[in-house]
A and B are shown apart, each in its own frame.
Chain A
Amino acid sequence: MAWLSENGILVGLALLDGLSYAAAVFMVAVGLNLVFGVLRVLNVAHGSLYAIGGYAAASLGLFAMSLGAPPWLGLPILLAAAVLVGAVLGPLIERFLLRRMQDREPVLQLLVTFALFMILEDLQKLVWGVQPVVFDAPLKWLGTVDVPFGQDVIPFTAYQLYVLPGVALATLAILAYVLRYTLTGRMVVAVTVDREAARAMGIDAAKVTMLTFTVGAALAALGGALAAPTVSLVPGVGASTIVLSFAVVATAGLGQIEGAALAALLIGLGRSFAVYVAPEFEVVVPYAIMVAVLLFRPQGLFGVAETRRI
């Protein structure tokens, strides 16, 4: 009984860890998935947008704190930085690069976005250098929460316990609402399903594409901005993020929003259980889940098998 009680609590702790991890991964993966849905481009540079969002948020936050801003202001600053990065870089990348790649071979699109990723990585180093950048004022301001663990308590940061899952849930709800119940959202869905038919119905597909990419870029930046208080931002942080995001997107099914949430949750929980039960498998668990899903559903959990057009 004692064994059950102790292990039950361990499962509970792993769930809390998994939720927080899944929330962070979801923010990036959902943007990637949204962009793929509309543009049909697997944007490797999405990882750079995550990193730049993180760096921009940290820089803005540190600047505001140096001026004597209260720590609570850190939270809105994270959001503002993400919007700023999305609004500036999103339209630029879409208009001058991806639009030209729209009807090209997927392999060429991959190469171009990979090249953009490399350029942005170097740009990051030029602007922010190689020293880690950390902005943890919001995390410290919110403090810790002691979670009961048998006779003991385990401190979690309130930021990871509440803010990360909360923002992820809100993002999912807003995206789902906008896509289902607003005119703009329906236009996005229409372009996602059939670009040509959407055009024929009078939808300005180019505008929808730019808007979607900007939102996707802002979501990546928001992922980075939200991660900024919990991690050290260092060169290369975008690369590891994009690889994990690909795993989430492939597991979810390309273009699937709710699928991304479920896949992120599966991968987050799988990873934290691995750390608890078999730490040596921690790194492979996300990819093992992806492979397991793709073996049975090649189109992903929520993906729809497409009929090939001749």
Chain B
Amino acid sequence: MAGTGRAGMLTRREALIGAGAAGASLMLPGGSAWAQGAGKPAELKVGIATYLSGPASVFGVPGRQTAEMLFDEINAAGGISGVKVRPIFVDEGPGVDHVVGEYRRLVQSEGVHLIFAAISSADCIACAPLSDELKRPTLLWDCGTQRIFEDNRYTYAFRTQANATPEILAALLYLLKVKPDIKSIAVINQDYAWGRDSWDIFRTAMNTLKPGVKVSAELFPRFGATDFSTEITRVLALRPDVVLSTSWGGDLDALIRQASDRKLFERSTFVMPLAESSLQRVGKALPAGHIVGARGDHWFLHPSPADPERLKRFNDSYRAKYNAWPIYPCFHMAQAVSAMKAGIEKAVAAKGGGWPTDAELAAAFKGLEFPSPTASVRIREDGQGLENQLIGTTLHSDKYPFPVLTDMIVFPAETVTTPVGQKSADWLKMLSPDMVAKLPQAQAFKS
């Protein structure tokens, strides 16, 4: 009877009970207003883990900027299915424990509807199980380790891009195509999971496709190193045909500059599957004739985008806002945002316009095909995204103050991705050397 005759006013006791109940619902796993089936939420809160501090922020901050830009665009257009979106960024810089704590906080205190996590493979490995535990749809927006969906199955975690296996295999296939007589190789990778795992993938595939290549040196400077003089001297002395580096961020920038100063690029061909993200920063310190990948088919000058207008809009918006061309973390973030939008719209449509629960939204991501700025990406039944891979050779052009890519090969996703249910370590051993002869035609740089 409380409230009777007071025109709907609450007593203090009622208000406290109501507030307590609302708070408790947020504290429970899966406790967002959305999950309770309370209808259209006032806003879509998206937790986004990216590097905002430390050396990797050269890479994580462009990802954050892209999210801010795209969220603004979505909101300006009325939101997703009429709901405005709001990002809440958390920093991966302090490490895995911090990110795991932040993941829980985002779900239990902030009540986010979705989470984008993360750049670091270690963070993704830690967060993927949390997505099922807390029943919160999670898009793995940038991390590379192939082990996530090969070693486990998740209901709430999906990867909106490729993984390490296609990214590294495509670079190897390209190398074998352009340099079939390779005799020796040295590796300079960052000393952490990605650096070690990516070398394992490369070496396993190389031993299958081109057995007998001599590994001159395996060098793993620490993650975040700024001085590679000793490694460069060692490789200069060994004179391998090829130097592989799957490094990225500030480490790769420093390696490229120092290798250039020491004329190492003149002695060996470099293969750098992640170097698209460094091209604008290192400028013409990186000479022509070296092999560069883009962790997907991302490049602002993609030779044959599915929707040229879409790519141009994305490039122009980013450039106008941040005075740089987008690099691959920007494209990966764009893919996660695009997947989120497509997934929600699919789930809303499946419910006849009603709002989906977390479980219904998660189900919508399975098999989802969504557009990226360069092509489309499909999420397989195991949660893994299928994404094409672009690899090219550096070229100096008068039009840009940094190297561009030429002789680009865009590898179709299915041809380089480990099939569902198989492990990369086994699948790579079953590759056929005639794969190299069947590669798509290379496409030249067009200004």
Contacts and interface: CB of A to CB of B under 8 A. Distances in A.
Contacts of A20: 229
Interface in B205-237: 217-222, 224-227, 229-231, 233-234, 236-237
Interface stretch (B116-124, B256-264, B332-340, B412-420): B256-264
Contacts of B230: 14, 17-18, 21, 271-272, 275-276, 282
Interface string B46-63: 000000011101100100
Interface in B254-294: 254, 257-258, 261-263, 281
A235 B236 contact: no
B26 to A, nearest CB: 30
B53 A121 contact: yes
Contacts of B225: 240
Given A144-B261, A235-B54, A280-B220, A13 B237 contact: yes
A227 B257 CA distance: 13
Contacts of A239: 54
B300 to A, nearest CB: 17
A160 B229 contact: yes
A14 B225 CA distance: 18
Contacts of B257: 134, 136, 232
Interface string A124-167: 01000011101010011000100001001011110010000000
A282 to B, nearest CB: 7
A234 B281 CA distance: 12
A279 B219 contact: yes
- Interface size for chain A: under 10, 10 to 19, 20 to 34, or 35 or more residues? 35 or more
Contact of B220 (A125, A271, A279): A279
A90 to B, nearest CB: 24
A236 interface: yes
Interface in A236-281: 236-237, 239-240, 271-272, 275-276, 279-280
A131 B222 contact: no
Interface string B233-255: 11011010000000001100110
A230 B226 CA distance: 8
Contacts of A236: 53-55, 57, 93, 224, 250
B191 interface: yes
B173 to A, nearest CB: 27
Given A21-B227, A236-B53, A132 B58 contact: yes
Contacts of A119: none
Contacts of A24: 227
A132 B220 contact: no
A132 B178 CA distance: 32
Contact of A234 (B55, B261, B263): B55
26 contacts: A17-B229, A17-B233, A24-B227, A125-B53, A130-B61, A131-B281, A132-B281, A136-B257, A144-B263, A155-B236, A156-B233, A157-B261, A227-B226, A230-B229, A232-B257, A234-B250, A234-B253, A235-B54, A235-B55, A236-B53, A236-B250, A239-B54, A240-B222, A275-B230, A276-B234, A283-B221
Name the 9 nearest CB pairs between A and B, nearest first.
A234-B250, A231-B226, A236-B54, A232-B254, A17-B230, A275-B230, A130-B57, A232-B253, A236-B55
Interface of A: 10, 13-14, 16-18, 20-21, 24, 121, 125, 130-132, 134, 136, 139-140, 144, 149, 152, 154-157, 160, 227, 230-232, 234-237, 239-240, 271-272, 275-276, 279-280, 282-283
